[in-house]
Chain A
Amino acid sequence: MTAATTAYGVVTVDVDRAEWPRAVTQARDEGFAFFDLLTAVDREGDGFDVVLRLWDPRRRTGLVLRTRCPRDDARVPTLLGVFAGAGWHERATAELFGIAFEGHVTTPLLLPASFEGHPLRKEFVLAARVAKRWPGAKEPGESDADLATPSRRRPQPPGVPPGWGERS
């Protein structure tokens, strides 16, 4: 199943993941021959979108292709056979989102070998969020010294689980 939508002047084609390499090959052969980028979007309960942008250098127009995989089955066929240059982007997407690209043994690209987790997944909490105090914890009329008095419930920083970074 494929469906095209236009938003903000960008044409996006949604593709079933089984059809992914075939649809990208077709777009390439129709003129979208320049591989621009490949990345992913964490849709939380709905899984992950893998997003690819291609460019047609003759018509000077772009095209976005998108496929979705479930969270508990995060894998998509590789595009290595369509665009060799997709390899680099698939390696980055694999380590940052924890998505497997079937047919491509992705080696780490950006993160140190000892790194655990996939930092662009929504559930990933950045260590800096624990090491640094949230500047928004202060109420109007307060300064750092007022934070020492644990008087009432303070606002919590968005995206940080309760209890993280609290030091006693």
Chain B
Amino acid sequence: MTPYEQGLAALRAAQYPVPVRSRGVIALLEENCTVCMVCARECPDWCIEIDSHKETLPPRTERGRPRVLHVLDRFAIDFALCMWCGICIEACPFDALFWSPELPPATRDPAELVHERAELRAWLATVPAPPALDPAAAPAKEQQDADRRSGPG
């Protein structure tokens, strides 16, 4: 290891104490991403690259119609360009993007600041839980749906 790499490793190992809601790095929940392209179009820095293709699903019922699905092939964020505005996270209509307080690791090569899908996915583990709802608030829509489905009848 060169001294530079030693320093880098020390930096990466250090648990730098940052507030939990810090804007560190952006995490991707692929399951929620519908490849709508909204984030790539809203990003003022043009740093989100998305590739996808179409797949046709056979009809579910005999008289049904085939459905076209967009399948994600590539999702990358260039943290060398990103300015941490959070617009992509705000704009995503499907809650597929989240702030993680972790910092993208320092590198010597700006190309390494392009985080591909797998890396963005891995940051999910570091995303803090959302703030609790107000005690008087109605349960979230998803919760209401789930309760209705699992409820009696």
Contact = CB atoms under 8 A, between A and B. Distances in A.
B46 interface: yes
Interface in B40-68: 40-43, 46-54, 68
Tell which of A129, A132, A136, A144 has the most Cβ of chain B within 10 Å: A136
Contacts of B20: none
Contacts of A155: 41
B73 A140 contact: no
Contact of A136 (B34, B40, B51, B68): B40
Task: Please report whether the interface of chain B is mostly helix, strand, loop or mixed according to DSSP.
Answer: strand
A142 B51 CA distance: 6
Contacts of B70: 140-141
Which of A129, A135, A138 gathers the greatest number of chain B CB atoms within 10 Å?
A135
Given A140-B37, A141-B35, A143-B73, A135 B53 contact: no
Contacts, number: 47
A141 B53 contact: yes
A124 B102 CA distance: 35
Interface in A111-160: 129, 132, 134-136, 138-144, 155, 157
Interface string B100-128: 00000000000000000000000000000
A135 B52 contact: no
A129 B45 CA distance: 9
Interface residues of B, number: 22
A142 B70 CA distance: 9
A28 B112 CA distance: 48
A139 B50 CA distance: 10
A139 B70 CA distance: 10
Interface of A: 129, 132, 134-136, 138-144, 155, 157
Given A143-B51, A155-B41, 17 more contacts: A132-B46, A135-B46, A135-B49, A135-B50, A136-B37, A136-B41, A136-B42, A136-B46, A138-B37, A138-B40, A138-B51, A140-B34, A140-B36, A140-B37, A141-B53, A142-B51, A142-B52
Interchain residue pairs A-B with the least CB separation, the first 5? A136-B41, A143-B51, A141-B54, A141-B70, A140-B70
Interface of B: 34-37, 40-43, 46-54, 68, 70-71, 73-74
9 contacts: A136-B41, A138-B40, A140-B37, A141-B68, A142-B53, A143-B73, A143-B74, A144-B51, A157-B46
